[in-house]
Structure 1
Amino acid sequence: MKRLARVAAACLALTGAVAAAPIALQRGVGVHDWLNWAPLAADGGYRWPPYRDEDEWLSGARPLSDWPEGSQFERIRAMGFDFIRLSVDPGPLLASEGGKRQEALDILAAAVRTATSAGLKVVFNLHGVSQVPQYGMDMIYDGADSVGVAAYREMVVDVAEMLVAVGIEQVAIEPYNEPAYYPCDASGTEDWQTIMADTVADIRAVSAELTVVATGACGGSITGLTDLDPSFDDPNLLYSLHMYEPHSFTHQRHDDPESFASGLPWPASEGSAELTIAGLRAHMDAAGIDIGRQARNIIELQGVVAQYFDEDWGLPQLQARIGEAVAWAESHDIAPTRLFMGEFGAILMTPDGRMGAHNADRLRYLAAVRGEAEKYGFPWSIWEYSNPYGMSVIVPSGPAVPDMELLQALDMASAQ
């Protein structure tokens, strides 16, 4: 009966006046560590009530005393951002039902209102993680008709109803983050296409006007987007792409925490393979790494470094890649302003040179990506507000102050 009521409500909404555009978004920042990776109890399940409060969030990576008093969301607004992309662990919602799920939804509604009361809009992103395996993203990878997908879609409907109650003029729902369903070519199945289309239909059964952010598969990449058939399109849809290309530059780090991977320049023409390798050797020397371990580290990285310079990454390649998304939109009569660059960023080099890009290179890259997004008028959200890994609007350690050079690269320093 509940589903029939939703369908009837959707039919009524679609026959009435429907807002002809998504909510207005321009410049956003991801808020990830607050409501994601929901805390666990001793038995391995979710702590209840779920999610962190603000003090737990802020004290996760540095002492709470490092943070100035007052609302973080008012600070975000004062920096010049008009929205946050709020990533939320869906696990506690998937692990509960009835009154218990409603309790979790009430906590999330209050969190959203905390941000909107500071003058920010909220893109509410269900951002699945794997810490409780049965409620991680693997549950949606058994095909469009699987039990896991059905349970996930039912949860999305409950979230959509919660957000509608908060106010559709202030929020958008992004039901998936970087879904897999690889490979990103014709050898893949149509499962992701079906899942995304069906999920949009589920949300439209709740509201015709709630802004929905749809995504392609293949990790939410541009390739995943351009593989998507937007036959389910409506005027209140945005289409997501994440920009971490080339990944060898944006995510300079080694799987082995004792190894070094850093120093690729942006653009590639600002340096060379030889200079990059020499920089790595200097960092390893300073860290006291023995010659044998240094040699193994260099051998492991030589192929990645050589490929980066062979491809000569720079603004033309960046323009061409983002241009693929724009061409896809235009081919489907979708305005490029309805593309949504929900994540972009680059790791800042750590003081020991173990990972990341030199700050000047990172800033040039961020300015270039931001400039391309704004050239076409689509909203963007940088990753993220605060973390200790150098992909952060707040400096990664010490007093929690804005990274003014980063804000300048985003053309936002004048807001301070």
Structure 2
Amino acid sequence: MASRTAWLKRALAAAGLLALACGPLEAATFSPERGLNLDLWDTWPNEAEWSRDGVLLPYPEWRRRLDAEDLASLKNVGFDFLRMPVDPIPFLSPKADHLHERLLMSVLEGVRTINAAGLKAIVDLHPIPRGADRFAGVEELLRDDALFERYLDLVRDMGRTLAAEDPERVAFELLNEPVTGCEGAEATAWDDQLGRLFAAARSSAPRTTLILSGACWGSASGLAALNPNSIPDDNILWGFHSYDPFILTTQGALWAGDFIRYVTGVPYPPYEHKAELEAALSKARARIRADAPFMRRSGMLDYLDEQIAGIDTEQELDAQMDAPFKTVADWAARYGVDPENILLGEFGMIRQEYGNPDVIPGAWRAAYIRDMIEKAEEHGFAWSIWGYGGAFGIVEEFGGNPAEGDVLRMIRSLKK
């Protein structure tokens, strides 16, 4: 750890930033409180189409249908910042080489649109797992040394793009949910990569607040594995995500493994909705018996019972939901990190998986999100709900139609 810190100081000194990084301890310049994640994509175009006019720009895609007036309505609800996910792969794809600078300027225009609405903005570089529609994803960025070097160049470019913006209004998150493990050799690898990401961003954005997170998909345990003192800078926010309990928040999802797709309709809180819980479990068991791979059925049924047993009382449910917050709070106390410099960057409860007719009632989602907000604010952490639209949408459902208003009404009711 000491050698990495020394390397960082040499890198910052070479960039003329060591005096800035070694100044007195201060809070981050960017100070978020209550936020919402915008959508990463709407139409998810295949990489093969990225070179065509009108496919990528304006970027991100939400800019085609939302303007400052639309975003100002979110400020009126009670949000003070928006986290803007930006897929970095188009910047690295040969299909979009000719658009690199235009993509950067389009992201900057998105930031300025958010600021014009009276909201602060976080630019979140947000790679996703690779699919058949793209040449690389988050795992490839972290495993391929040459590709990671190119990603560092993008971080420098994005930092340069944001550097002239008001540092109280704009922050920069360097990598969403790194999939590296948070123990052993993988933890060491992420520790090194995080330092290199920080040095790259700080070299081009000396005043901008940077948002850093731990490994293990940006989890609380990943953050707790970091030593924040190895980053010689105080203009930092430390981020983590929590979707606990998974069986509640991602039920019905097709992208979250081969079990959860069979489970829908689990209420929140389950101990207050016994009839709905039993109906959901009966339906899930029937789906597993009918549709799951034959050799997996028995194990899935046992796993379902195990997961429900961990949340079917008030005490058990609260313990699961509180665990990530306690982990982060203990880490912050151990290293002297101000809770105001901690961001719960993502949390939420699925509304409806794409193509699945089952919709989680808005009242259940509002209750879950309210309880997570209470936990975050009790600890002094800022927070950002996932997300604006799509499967987890609190403003819109798929297709741009309004989602149920329960969550937004709950946000409006929060005390200042």
TM range (shorter): 0.7 to 0.9
Matched, 1:27 2:34: yes
Q: Which residue in 1 is equivalent to 2:395?
A: 394
Stretch moving more, 131-140 or 4-13 = 4-13
Shift of the alpha carbon at 1:31? 0.6
CA deviation profile, 1:181-229 (whole Å, cap 9, x unmatched): 12x4346441101111121122222233211110111111111111122
Q: CA 1:292–1:398 in structure 2 vs 1: closer, same or farther (change >3 Å)?
A: closer
Residue in 2 that maps onto 1:239: 238
Change (3 A) 1:252 1:402: closer
For 1:149, the equivalent position in structure 2 comes to 148
Contact persistence 1:10–1:208 (CA under 8 A): yes
Q: Deviation at 1:179? A: 0.8
**RMSD, aligned α-carbons:** 4.0
On the 8 A contact 1:259/1:354 being kept in 2, the answer is no
Distance 2:285 2:357 in 1: 8
Does 2:265 match 1:263?
Answer: yes
Give, in whole Å, the separation in 2 of the partners of 1:158 and 1:55: 17
Q: Which residue of 1 aligns with 2:224?
A: 226
Instruction: State which of 323, 327, 330 in structure 1 corresponds to 2:326.
Output: 323
**Greater Cα offset, 150-159 or 184-193:** 184-193
For the pair 1:51 / 2:56, whether they are aligned, the reply is yes
Could you give the per-residue CA deviations for residues 328-360 of structure 1, whole angstroms, max 9, x where no partner exists?
111111012211111000112679985564444
Counterpart check, 1:405 vs 2:410: no
Structure 1 residues 315-324 or 6-15, which shifts more? 6-15
Note the C-alpha offset of 1:399. 7.5
CA distance in 2, matches of 1:206, 1:346: 37
- Tell me which amino acid in the other structure corresponds to 1:141: L
- Confirm or deny that 1:375 pairs with 2:378: yes
Of all paired residues, the percent bearing the same amino acid is: 25
Corresponding position: 1:335 with 2:338: yes
CA contact (8 A) 1:125 1:177 kept: yes
1:242 and 1:372 mapped to 2: Cα distance? 13
Q: Secondary structure at the match of 2:74?
A: helix
- Give yes or no for contact 2:68–2:116 (8 Å, CA) kept in 1: no
Residue type matched to 1:345 in 2? G
Give 5+ residue unaligned stretches, structure 2.
Answer: 1-9
- AA aligned to 1:407 is L
Moved more, 251-260 or 19-28: 251-260
Distance 1:175 1:113 in 2: 19
Alpha-carbon distance, 1:247 to partner: 1.0
Instruction: Choose from 70, 77, 92 the match for 1:79.
Output: 77
Provide the TM-score with structure 1 as the length reference. 0.80
1:20/1:282 CA distance change after superposition, 3 Å: closer
Contact 1:373 1:380 in 2 (8 A): yes
Change (3 A) 1:117 1:179: same
Match of 2:135 in 1: 134
Flag the structure with higher helix content: 2
Residue aligned with 1:262, SS: coil
* 2:7 alignment partner in structure 1: none
**Counterparts of 1:193 and 1:404, CA distance in 2:** 41
* Residues 15-24 or 102-111, more deviating: 15-24
**Counterpart amino acid of residue 219 in structure 1:** W
Aligned residue identity for 1:51? L
Query: Residue 39 of structure 1: CA displacement?
Result: 3.7
CA distance in 1, matches of 2:415, 2:59: 28
5 Å-filtered alignment, 1:35-114, equals 39-40=45-46, 43-48=48-53, 51-53=56-58, 57=62, 71-95=69-93, 100-114=99-113
> 2:326 is matched by which residue type in structure 1?
G
| SS in structure 2 at match of 1:266 | coil
- How far apart are residue 121 of structure 1 and its match? 0.8
C-alpha distance in structure 2 between counterparts of 1:89 and 1:175, whole Å = 12
Query: Cα 1:291–1:167, aligned 2, differ >3 Å: closer, same or farther?
Result: closer
Q: State how many pairs are aligned.
A: 395
CA pair 355-196 structure 1, distance change in 2 beyond 3 A? farther
What SS is found at the alignment partner of 1:71?
Answer: helix
C-alpha distance in 1 between matches for 2:267 and 2:110: 39
Query: What is the alpha-carbon distance in structure 2 between the residues aligned to residue 259 and residue 21 of structure 1?
Result: 40
User: Whole-Å Cα distance in 2 between the matches of residues 295 and 94 of structure 1?
Assistant: 38
Question: Mapping of 1:341-380 within 5 angstroms?
Answer: 341-348=344-351, 355=358, 357-380=360-383
2:215 match: 217
